[in-house]
Structure 1
Amino acid sequence: MTKTHRLYPSAHIAELFFPLTRDENAVAQVVRRIADGGYYRGFETGIIHQPPVAETIRAIAGQHGLNVTQWLTFELLKDRLNLSSLDTALREKSIKRACELVHLAAACGTSKLSLVSGDDPGEERREEAKKGFAEALVRVGETARQYPDMLVQVEPLDRFAHKRQLIGPTGETVEWMMRLRPDCPRLYLAWDSAHVALNQEDLADSLKLAAPIMSQMHLANAILDPQAQGYGDYHMKFGEPGFLTAGVAARIIRTALALPLSPELKAISIAVEMRTGEGDDLWDNERQCRAFLQRALAAAENPG
């Protein structure tokens, strides 16, 4: 078995096929084609609402042995909800909705329930917001524990550059999450290269800090020059003018392969995050991202 078996390729359908995300039947068709392609061992979508579609996706995933990741982010943003809001009424409404969504995710066979925090309120009220978000995660985690195969993962975003979210820098996030884990034991971190870079962190150092609780990796690109057009996290294509070249991607993977994974996880998923738009050739973009990931994995295992 090669070392790269510790990282399994995942298709980020919610981004690669972004124009289709509101058409759940179309998403199911994409899942089927992804599964039939035989390369990916997992896929990521938003929440599916229609029971027949959820049943179809669950059946496809089960038949092909695919891991299912679903993101609450789109659903919560749509309803202007915020799990870390300082407004207790809004936070309570957000928590109740997130817990409802846990059950919808379970209907798809989801093993990784994924979410992000809300906006950073600033240094003076940051700890207050983190306390509220911790309460939200514990309650969402309690609901998720009804499903033994489901974990909850939080993606730290950039705090200062673009998204300006509460949960951001890796070291601070890992320390906070480790304190929370006794009350939320299946809590993990979804690592994203774009947000780490926009936080002006060293990618390798961030991976080393995240490794004990890391359950997923996104190879995501961004323009890092604050004076340049497109600065920030816009889910852009890999390569220049962003920082995520093939060489950088290979170094990220090589670093991850050398790190000890969480003992509860046999492997973690890795996906290229690139958002498509109306008029894009969606399957050609998927092919390009798949080829980029394949090259990066191969280069990481066979440097030189």
Structure 2
Amino acid sequence: MALHLETPLLESPSLSLASGRSVWLKMDALQPPGSFKIRGIGAACEHHARNGKRRFVSSSGGNAGIAVAYAGRRLSIPVSVFVPQTTTERAKSLIRQEGAEVFVHGASWQEANERALEAVDAETAFIHPFDDPLLWTGHATIIDEVVNAGVAFDAVVLSVGGGGLLAGVAEGLDRNGLKGVPIIAAETEGAASLAASVKAGKLTELPAITSIATSLGARKVSQRAFEIAQTLPVESVVVDDRAAVNACMRVLDDHRVLVEPACGAALAVAYSHADRLAGYERVLIVVCGGATASLAQLQAWQAS
């Protein structure tokens, strides 16, 4: 049995009204560890468990670590997660709640990732948070489920951090004969590493992450994500932190689901940047979730 759930697919009257077109939500915020990450990470962990690995090590700003910890607990395999200093206490607590060890290292995910790689030995599988074909194939099940539900769509909106979700959705579209469907890739200002790379025409690293959407905090997207943006119909959209937070609060009112600003970036495209959806009639938004934000924190950001 897969470690992820088949999540609800909802038509959203409120987002449809806000954007002036039919909007469908793939509710991956309802996965047991709180985000879409368990699809690919669960598939990778199961693969490595079958191949005899006896420990999982990962690096994460939050959600990937929670997913690896959850997968390890379900598979009875110990887990160590290396996180940067920017990771919230809530995220660290949720990782520990699943029985994993948490190690804090470095100012950014890149530094935590380097330390995580040093902890890998012959019996250990390294679970990358976004840059691994095993993950992308797992994330592609999002599109499989939408297609199996019989819901047609002419664009997909999703958030981009390191690009794992983008790579997975592109693979899912391709294997369902939908390669030409445009992907609208949303990021927040201060974490827009894909937009920077697209603008430069080459893979580009941000000097720092300055957005509150720290889950989008990869200073450089994966090579695969950049290639997809160069070769497939991908449109980059950057929203500010306030739009992302406001979208989180609105979707909480509209659908009674709490998501974090990293996910709010995608929702903000329909709520406040509907001009970017011109020409599309039925839009699928991946509500990727995120367990690391609390209501109190969202309210504090909104008030600031």
Task: Tell me if TM exceeds 0.5.
Answer: no
- TM-score with structure 1 setting the length: 0.32
- TM-score with structure 2 setting the length: 0.32
Larger RCO, structure (CA 8 Å, separation 6 or more): 2
